[in-house]
Structures are given as C-alpha cells and as structure tokens.
Structure 1
Amino acid sequence: MTEQAAIEQVETPVTADDIADDLRSLGVTPGETLIVHSSVSALGWVAGQQQAVVEGLQRAVTEAGTLVVPTHSPQFSDCERWSNPPVPDAWVEEMPERMPPFRPAATPSRGVGAVPECFRTYPDTVRSRHPEYSFAAWGADAEAIVADHRYDNGLGDGSPLAEVYDRSGRVLLLGVGHSVNTSLHLAEHRADYETDQVYHRAPVIEDGERVMVEYEDIAGDTTDFEDVGAAFESEVGITEGTVGAGDAKLLDQPDLVDFAVEWFEANR
C-alpha cells in the first residue's frame, strides 16, 4: 500500500493512543499475555508508523502484561531449502560456516514485518536464542517466556509459543490473516500425523564463544493455515473489530491450538 492510499483510509492520522484505545475496545486487557502478528500498512496512515504501533500495544497491555512477537530470521535456515531464489548447490554445505553467529540483540528479523523489527530493539525487550525461530517479549513475564528456547522443534513445546499457551495467552491478528499465525505451528508439533523431519545447522554464541548447533524440526506447512483459522472462527468464535483502519481479530491461543491439533489430525 502506498502512503497516499494509507492517508485516504483515515480522516486523521492514527496515533499510538488511538491504537491503544482501539485495542481496549476490541477487548485487550491490562495484564494479559498477548502474541501479536501485524501489518502497520493495514492500519491506515499511522503517525510514527511501526513505533506508534509498538507503543500502542504496550499501552494497551501495560507493564503488568506481556507482549510477544515473532522475530524470526530465516537467513539462518537450511539454505538447501531456499527457493526464492535458490542458491547454487556448491554453496549449501559451507553456508553455515560462512554465516556470522546469530546474536539475539543484533541479528535482524526477516519476513515478519516492520513492527517486530522495531519491537525487538525497544528497552526492556528480550529475545530468545533460537537462530531461526526466535521470539521477542516485553513485560512482566518476558524473561520467562523467551528463556531456554529449545533448538530442536523450535516452534513446539519448549518454545515461547508453548509458554504463551501455558499462560492462557491470546492471539492478536492486526491487519493480517491466519497464514502468519505462528501459534498454529505449535499445533503442528502436537498433532499426531506423519511429517517429515528437517535437519538444521547454524552458528550461535554460547558462553561467549561461536559454536555450531545442530538440530531437527518438522517440515512445517502453512498452506492450510487460513483453512484451519476459518474453521476455528466458524466453530469456536473470535472477537473482531478495527484498529485504526485495519481489521483486527482477537482469539484465545490455547483454544486455537487445541482445535488445530484435532483439525490437522483429521485433515492432513
């Protein structure tokens, strides 16, 4: 969306306070645990862009609650699976050795939008250690949610997604759909169906030293995430509203994950 189109969506610029007020009207409450997926461009013309979205989210949840966002870095994934574009076969074996180590405080996120990349740099925000599937968190339970993020099955149990589940957290889809709803990956890991395992190798920092970690994960598949999300909305229900000029959806994360486990087992 162009900036001109964003201006035409709203009567006045959307501010951080507007975002906080709209989130409260949607049902976001101070003190809750909230995992957020967002598109700043979907909200209309926002004064301060992604920074205003971050601060609006913080004001809605308050320091008594906890915000969680995906800060994934697929540049640390197995390059043999890269397809847009693929890399030459001769590069594959040595790619991890050529990469700098993943650094939670410095490595940029990629492919998750402008809000997470801004959020991860905010004071008192902490980021998990996973080189590909990290999450950043801010608020009362931030440290506990991102601590000890398992390398293997990085979106399953032992991940920040499972920590959100254990805290009866909720999912906020802010101008985006279920195709980017990472909580559905937790359901993939918990569901009982046949899946392929993918091998990973990536450099990280441990005890101040560069080390190469090796781990396995399931081959996740997002192609049916919109289908399972639509089924959940129809059969269980969500809260819908607007934030700025954008559509917003608020839903219970444990209910979603439990529903999706059964859906995947029946439909995959």
Structure 2
Amino acid sequence: MTSDFELSLDELRAVARYATEAAEGVLPVFEAAHPGDERPRAAIEAAREFIDGATRTRLQRVTSMDAHRAAKDAVTEAARLAAQAAGDAASAAYLHPIAKAHQVAHILRAAANAARIAEIEDPGAGDRALERARERATPTLIDVLRRYPPAPTGRSRTAQLMTVLDAALREEGSPPLTGHDLRAGFEALGLPVGATVIVHASLSSFGRVEGGAATVLGALREHLGPQGTVVVPAFTGDAVRDLHPGAGADADRSGVPLFHDRLPTLMGALPTAVLADPERLRSSHPQASVAALGPLAREITARQPLAYAVGRGSPFDRLHGLGAHILLLGVGHNRNSFLHYAESLIPNHRRKLRRFPYLVDGERVWVEAPDVGDDNGRHFPGVGAEAEDAGLVRTGVIGAAECRLMESRPFIEFAARRLRERLAAEGRETP
C-alpha cells in the first residue's frame, strides 16, 4: 500500500494506547450485557501487548475482527459500541498512513463511543467524557491526527461526537474563542435580536472558550439584547428517580432527593451556568424542569404539569406559542428536547411512566405520571435531518461547533407530521 506519510511504531503505540484507554473504560458495559463473551476483552489484551512493546502480529488483526463480530451480536446500543471500541483498540496497531478522512475513526472512534455510552444514561455526561478524552490526548497523538483530513461529518450521534472531538484536538494550541467570536457566530447564524430561544449546547464542541460556559451565556444574552429570553432544559431525571423500580414498597428509596429550585442539573455546562445566575427562574417539575433568563422567563416557567411535562400546558407549549427559536450548539437533534413536545401532539406517540418523590400535604409520597416515551436516537436524528433537507434549519459553524437554528412553529409542524408517519409505519397506530 502506498503511504502518504510515515508512522513510527511509537506513534502507533500512542494511538493504540489512546483507543485502548477508552475501550477499557466501557468494557464492563459489554460484559454486563454479554457475560462469558470474551472477544472484546481479548482484543484489548492484544492491544495492550502491542502498547507494551510487543511486535505487531496477526493477533491484533484477528482479535479486532472478533470484537467487531461481537459488536454485531450485541443486544444493546451501549454493548455494541463498547465491543466496537475494543475492536478499534486492537486495530489501531495497523493504522494506515494514508491521508483519508475515514482513517480518523481508527484514532478517535473508541473515545467517541465511550462518550456516547455515557450520554445514553445521562445526557450531560457525553460532554464530560469528551473533555476527559481531550485531556488524555498526548502531543504525539494530536500530531498524528493532524496528518489526516478532518473526520467526515456523519448523522449518527457517535459520528457527531467524533467530529466534535476531532475538531477540539486540532484546535489545541490555537487561541480560545472569545465572547466577540461567539456573538459574531450567533449573528452569522441568523439568531434574531430580541428572540426567545431554547438552547441545547455542548461546551466542548466549540473547542476552547475563554471563560467557559459563562462566556457562552453572556454572549447569547448580549446578542439577544434586553428583550431576549434564554431558556435551557434543566432536567434532573437521573437524580430524582426510583432507584429500585418494581422492587416494592419496602425498598429503601430515602436517598432519592425531592426536587428543589437549586437542585443541580445534569444537562451540561450551559444549563448549569444559567442556574447559577441569581436572576434566573425555573419551572418546578421534579424531572423535566427548564430554567430561563429574560423578560419572558416568568411566563415560560410559571406552570408545568406533572403528567406530560414536555407536552401541552408545559413550558415547551408556551415557547411554541411564543414562536420561540430552537438553537443547537454542537449537538444533534437527538438532544433537541422540543422533538418530545412535537411527539406529544400526535395521537400515536410513545409513552413512558415517570416516577419520582413528591410532597403532598407535607408528606413525601411517590408519584407516577405518564409522559412521552424516550427516543434513544431511533427517530429524532432522522426527523431533524429531514427538516434540514426541507430548508427549515439554518446551519453554521462557531469555533469547532456545528450549530443549528430553527423557528419552533414550522419545525414542530413538520416534525409532528413526520413522527406520526414514522411511528405509524412501525405499526404504532392511534390508540
């Protein structure tokens, strides 16, 4: 095979070490789902042999292929991604020195898979996992990465995470984004001054930001001006939930907190920055609250039903009625919580049961409330992509972050129709 550049064994070992560290962290996810299947573990062990100085042999190739077969056999997305990461760790020993964008996956996909696994359980954990992956990257690994073209943009969530990580690592050593850079980006994207906007963001997707999430929030508010209102999801579903579902009334659930206005959110750095602002207001749902800053904050957060917390009568319903904009900063439509609202409007929506502690007449009780079911990447990314193809979404890049802006009314009308059609095609008819 013709080479476009040289890769030394030390450089290959640096790449293999990076992928292997990510794969080792998520191996328990696969083994919990598939006890007794040792194919991913064998791939990681083969990678470790090479990292520790052994010669590249057929062992790395064979165990890598076996781990990828295990990924195909996996019963859950998380288990599949964990096995795939193990396969990538072993195959990193044979990274090809050809300047093709698809080669970047052999360097970064294991770390992106680990981030995706983290956010399946906790939407905010993906950002934190990417930040740890960025911190783990050595100068040698970054130097190797820069010899390849940027990672190709894909529509899967893992591909999006890999693109974010790739851009962040290539930005290492470059000046951080400033508030001025961010405001210029919001203007170029077409975010109207004075708008009401709900924001979903990945801070790490920008690359380095001078001042972090506080700078992003400040830039948003300065761009919107005094008439603008910023809204963020401040969900706490992973904290305020039944730790022992189905275990009966005798199970100890005393450690699950009651919701309160200052309960931290797990939705990432930007919602945390909003919650830290003394002027913000927050709705009161135990699992699906939103926080807002601006002249319409009180109207938006005033009421939120326990049942269908993202449906009619919720802050999302009022945002829709106000003609709010939806802004995605470095995240895909799988993180677009407004799509849950769109689904709540159709008769054949999916359903789930929320369960959380609640005070009733001063007594702590457990409440069950219906809501729209989780999507888990099944339809939301596809519906979002279709909306983009239909011209309903403006796209741009701020720093290293792919950004999307849409008006809620036409977007929700389109999304509700397509979700109804997609779910009907799966056999989910109107109850």
TM-score after normalising by structure 1: 0.87
C-alpha contact 1:96 1:201 (8 A) present in aligned 2: no
Change (3 A) 1:128 1:237: same
Change (3 A) 1:213 1:62: farther
Q: CA deviation at 1:94?
A: 4.4
Q: What SS does the corresponding residue of 2:353 show, helix, strand or coil?
A: strand
- Say whether residues 1:46 and 2:46 are aligned partners: no
Distance in 2 of aligned mates of 1:93 and 1:113: 34
- Say whether residues 1:57 and 2:213 are aligned partners: no
C-alpha contact 1:130 1:149 (8 A) present in aligned 2: yes
C-alpha contact 1:145 1:164 (8 A) present in aligned 2: yes
Distance in 1 of aligned mates of 2:388 and 2:351: 29
Change (3 A) 1:39 1:194: closer
Q: 1:69 aligns with which of 219, 232, 255?
A: 232
Change (3 A) 1:145 1:90: same
Change (3 A) 1:67 1:199: closer
Q: 1:100 aligns with which of 257, 270, 281?
A: 257
Distance in 2 of aligned mates of 1:93 and 1:140: 46
Q: 1:14 aligns with which of 177, 184, 205?
A: 177
Letter in 2 for 1:100: P
Q: CA deviation at 1:125?
A: 0.9
Q: 1:175 aligns with which of 323, 326, 330?
A: 330
Distance in 2 of aligned mates of 1:172 and 1:93: 44
- Aligned partner of 2:283 in structure 1 is 128
C-alpha contact 2:351 2:370 (8 A) present in aligned 1: no
Q: CA deviation at 1:179?
A: 0.3
Q: CA deviation at 1:45?
A: 0.9
| Percentage of pairs with the same residue | 29
- Aligned partner of 2:374 in structure 1 is 220
Change (3 A) 1:131 1:93: farther
- Say whether residues 1:151 and 2:314 are aligned partners: no
Distance in 1 of aligned mates of 2:270 and 2:357: 25
Distance in 2 of aligned mates of 1:71 and 1:195: 22
Distance in 1 of aligned mates of 2:327 and 2:180: 18
Change (3 A) 1:210 1:61: farther
Q: CA deviation at 1:194?
A: 5.4
Change (3 A) 1:21 1:267: same
Q: What SS does the corresponding residue of 2:291 show, helix, strand or coil?
A: strand
Point out where structure 1 has 5 or more consecutive residues left out of the alignment. Answer: 82-88
Q: CA deviation at 1:39?
A: 0.6
Q: CA deviation at 1:7?
A: 6.8
Structure number having the greater strand percentage = 1
TM-score after normalising by structure 2: 0.56
Q: Which has the larger radius of gyration?
A: 2
Higher relative contact order (CA 8 A, sep 6+): 1
- Give CA-to-partner distance per residue, 1:13-60, whole Å, 9 cap, x none: 111222122101211122101010101111111111111111111111
Q: What SS does the corresponding residue of 2:215 show, helix, strand or coil?
A: helix
- Aligned partner of 1:238 in structure 2 is 393
Runs of 4+ in 1 over 6 A off after TM superposition: none
Point out where structure 2 has 5 or more consecutive residues left out of the alignment. Answer: 1-129, 138-166, 424-431
Aligned-CA RMSD value: 2.3
Q: CA deviation at 1:235?
A: 1.8
C-alpha contact 2:195 2:324 (8 A) present in aligned 1: yes
